[in-house]
């Protein structure tokens, strides 16, 4: 899958569990992609109740905690980071 428009992101979010790994301890699905602005990693998480959070971590920084995002905010976050998302999706295919 290649993200070309916001509708692609909405579809990807609907199928999130197909792309994500599962954290048994945290009881959540998670997906990582590069944080190209801060030279680190973003982790996008979805809990069983459908709530999404994001967290960034890299050399020299670590966000204080998970930030809760509604569906529109997640779409915008992924749109803003679609280059990193597309690159991570391509890695998983290869």
Residue 38 lies in a domain: yes
Cα gap 49→7, rounded to integer Å: 22
Enclosing domain of residue 10 = 6-93
Distance in Å from the first CA to the final CA of the chain: 12
Residue 87 within a domain: yes
Element of type H or E holding 56: strand 52-58
Q: Model's pTM, two decimal places?
A: 0.91
Q: 1 lies in a domain?
A: no
* Residue 48 forms part of a structural domain: yes
Q: Strand pairing of 61-62 and 52-58?
A: antiparallel
Whether 63 maps to a domain, the answer reads: yes
Percent of the chain with pLDDT over 90: 91
pLDDT in tens, 46-75: 999 999 999 999 999 999 999 999 999 999
Identify whether 73 is part of a domain: yes
Structure-token match 């590069």, residue found: 34
State how many domains the chain has: 1
Is there a domain that residue 52 lies in?
yes
Tell me, what's the pLDDT at 1?
Answer: 79
């Amino acid at each position: 899958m290649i993200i070309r428009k916001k509708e692609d992101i909405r579809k990807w979010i609907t199928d999130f569990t197909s792309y994500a790994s599962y954290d048994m301890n945290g009881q959540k699905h998670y997906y990582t992609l590069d944080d190209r602005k801060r030279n680190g990693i973003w982790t996008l998480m979805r809990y069983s109740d459908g709530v999404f959070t994001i967290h960034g971590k890299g050399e020299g920084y670590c966000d204080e905690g998970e930030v809760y995002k509604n569906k529109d905010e997640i779409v915008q976050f992924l749109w803003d980071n679609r280059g990193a998302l597309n690159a991570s999706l391509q890695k998983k295919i290869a």
